[in-house]
Amino acid sequence: MAQVSLRKLFKRFDDTEAVRGIDLDIADKEFVVLVGPSGCGKTTTLRMIAGLEEVSAGEIAVDGEVVNDVPPKDRDMAMVFQNYALYPHMTVYENMSFGLRLKRYPKEEIARRVQEAARILDITELLDRKPRQLSGGQRQRVAMGRAIVRNPKVFLFDEPLSNLDAKLRVQMRTEIKRVHQKVRTTTVYVTHDQVEAMTLADRVVVMNRGRIEQIGPPNELYHAPKTRFVAGFIGSPAMNFLPCRLEEDDGALRVHLSEELALPVPPARVARYRPYAGRPGLTFGLRPEHVTESKSNGGTPLSMIDALIEVAEPLGMETLVFFRINGLDVCGRVSPNAGAREGARMRLCASLDNMHLIDDATGTVI
């Protein structure tokens, strides 16, 4: 059992506050990802959980027991570092068994655990090698092996894939997920890559400037972001944001994106949005995949956009098209044979059932 809770966690470095009041409950065996831009406090939070940074204020509890004063070595947690931190003078076997040897486990037990972990991670042939003889991906696996072998209550990952090249990163991501399925342990994973967060997490914690923006399963964060930050951070390419005006003519609520373009608000949202009609400081958000070519069974004629394509990025399975509304860049995704190219005029359809309206003053999604 390893349930972790963070209560009103604060961290001050000299005169800056890196973490400002984090409240989080992580269930046993849950895979939680802390994601956010550099400097948002995610690594600091992780290190406080590990005991590598002292807590300025607040509590960290594991299974109900407050561990603020417990030194790292007694917290029964294992950490995988961004730079692997493998002991250069030890073989892979010795690296993985170091923690157990320190605690004087019997040799047979150590051997059994190391072999098991090596099997899970597919590094059995590497056990006699030294770190300098290994590639980046292999080293990362050894670092994970070192963590697995200890059978800890909590796994902590500090941006483990940042140092790998793109292709390897994708591979290792799947590895990590597979390992988590085999070795079901509470995991706290830190990354700045929202794709990693989406693919790996049971729940994603989006952090920004020391605070939590939103917590939730990946799909919830994707489809129902609560703040503009989350809406813009999750999803690639990022959501389109356009300042807009909400106006009601003859009982019909419309979103005005420019002098020429006004799109109808879907009936389901009218009630929610009506109070904001006529107010300044509103932003319209729509993901690129919801700006696409009209389909045969397609969109309401009233949601069409005339687009003059400025840039077309063919990705093989789809093409990203960039055009302007009211001088601002908008991104859409069309199928590869929709004839998208620079200079082309296309009629694109906006699927407004997936729109988001953001109140600029508070940054929240209405």
Partner 1 sequence: MVDATLEALAIAGGSRRRSALRKAMQRKSTIAFLMTLPLILLVVLLVLYPAFYSIHLATLNKSMERFVGVGNFLFLFKRETFWMVVQQSCIFAITAVIFKALFGFIVAHFVHNIPSRGQRKWRGMLLVPWVIPPAMSCLAWLWLFDPSYSAFNWVLDKISIGPVAWTGDAYWARFSVILVNVWIGAPFFMIMYLAALKSVPEQLYEAAAIDGANWWQRMWYVTLPMMRNIMAITALFSLIVTFANFDIVRILTAGGPIDRTHVFATWSFWIGIQGNDIPLGASVSLFMVPILTVAAVFILRDIHRRASEMS
Partner 2 sequence: MTAAAITTQARPRRRYGSMSRDRRWALRWSYFFLTVFAIFFLMPPVYMLITSLKTSAEISAATNPWWVYHPTLGNYIELLSSSQYLTFFRNSALVSVIVVTITMLISVPAAFALARMRFWGSTALATGVFLTYLIPETLLFIPLFKMFALVNEYTGIELINRWWVLLLLYPTLTVPFCTWIMIGYFASIPKELDEAALMDGANYRQILTRVFIPVALPGLIAATIFAFTVSWAQFLYPLAFTTSADQLVLPVGIVTSLIKGDVFNWGQIMTGALLGAAPPLIIYAFLMDYYIAGLTAGATKG
Q: Which is nearer to partner 2, 156 or 255 (CB)?
A: 156
Q: Which of 3, 5, 68, 82 binds partner 1 (CB under 8 A)?
A: 68
Q: Which is nearer to partner 1, 68 or 227 (CB)?
A: 68
Closest contact distance (angstroms) between CB of 103 and partner 2 is 6
Q: Which pair of tokens denotes residue 290?
A: 């919801």
DSSP state of 345: E
Does 342 engage in binding with partner 1 (CB under 8 A)?
A: no
Q: Which stretch binds partner 1 (CB under 8 A): 49-57, 134-142, 292-300, 347-355?
A: 49-57
Q: Which does 326 bind (CB under 5 to 8 A by kind): partner 2, partner 1, none?
A: none
Does 349 engage in binding with partner 1 (CB under 8 A)?
A: no
Does 57 engage in binding with partner 1 (CB under 8 A)?
A: yes
Does 56 engage in binding with partner 1 (CB under 8 A)?
A: yes
Q: Which stretch binds partner 1 (CB under 8 A): 30-38, 66-74, 86-94, 340-348?
A: 66-74
Q: Which is nearer to partner 1, 72 or 266 (CB)?
A: 72
Q: Which of 37, 72, 232, 363 binds partner 1 (CB under 8 A)?
A: 72
- In what helix (H) or strand (E) does residue 230 lie, and over which residues does it extend? helix 228-233
Contact 209, 303 (CB under 8 A): no
Q: Which does 150 bind (CB under 5 to 8 A by kind): partner 1, partner 2, none?
A: partner 2
Residue type, 261: L
Q: Which does 78 bind (CB under 5 to 8 A by kind): partner 1, partner 2, none?
A: partner 2
Q: How far apart are CA 110 and CA 98, in angstroms?
A: 9
Q: Which of 64, 71, 327, 343 binds partner 1 (CB under 8 A)?
A: 71
Tally Cβ neighbours within 10 Å of residue 31. 22
Contact 131, 145 (CB under 8 A): no
Contact 93, 114 (CB under 8 A): yes
Q: Which is nearer to partner 2, 26 or 142 (CB)?
A: 142
Q: Which does 56 bind (CB under 5 to 8 A by kind): partner 1, partner 2, none?
A: partner 1
Does 91 engage in binding with partner 1 (CB under 8 A)?
A: no
Does 358 engage in binding with partner 1 (CB under 8 A)?
A: no
Q: Which does 83 bind (CB under 5 to 8 A by kind): partner 2, partner 1, none?
A: partner 2
Q: Which does 99 bind (CB under 5 to 8 A by kind): partner 1, partner 2, none?
A: partner 2
Per the DSSP assignment, residues forming a β-bridge with 5 are 25, 61
Phi, psi of 158 (to 5 degrees): -110, 90
Closest contact distance (angstroms) between CB of 99 and partner 2 is 4
Q: Which does 68 bind (CB under 5 to 8 A by kind): partner 1, partner 2, none?
A: partner 1
Does 37 engage in binding with partner 1 (CB under 8 A)?
A: no
Burial (0-12, 13-18, 19+ Cβ within 10 Å), 295: exposed
Chain-centroid distance, C-alpha 53 = 23
Q: How far apart are CA 16 and CA 241, in angstroms?
A: 31
Q: How far apart are CA 121 and CA 117, in angstroms?
A: 6
Closest contact distance (angstroms) between CB of 266 and partner 2 is 51
Burial of 96-108, coded b for 16+ CB within 10 Å and e otherwise, reads bbbbbeeeebeee
Q: How far apart are CA 206 and CA 189, in angstroms?
A: 12
- In what helix (H) or strand (E) does residue 271 lie, and over which residues does it extend? helix 267-273
**Beta pairing, strands 291-293 & 345-350:** antiparallel
From residue 171, how far is each of 36, 124, 138, 164, 176 by CA, in Å? 22, 18, 12, 10, 9
Interface residues with partner 2 (CB under 8 A) are 50-52, 71-74, 77-79, 81-83, 85-90, 98-99, 102-103, 146, 150
Q: Which does 87 bind (CB under 5 to 8 A by kind): partner 2, partner 1, none?
A: partner 2
Chain contacts with partner 1 (rule: CB under 8 A): 10, 51-59, 68-69, 71-72
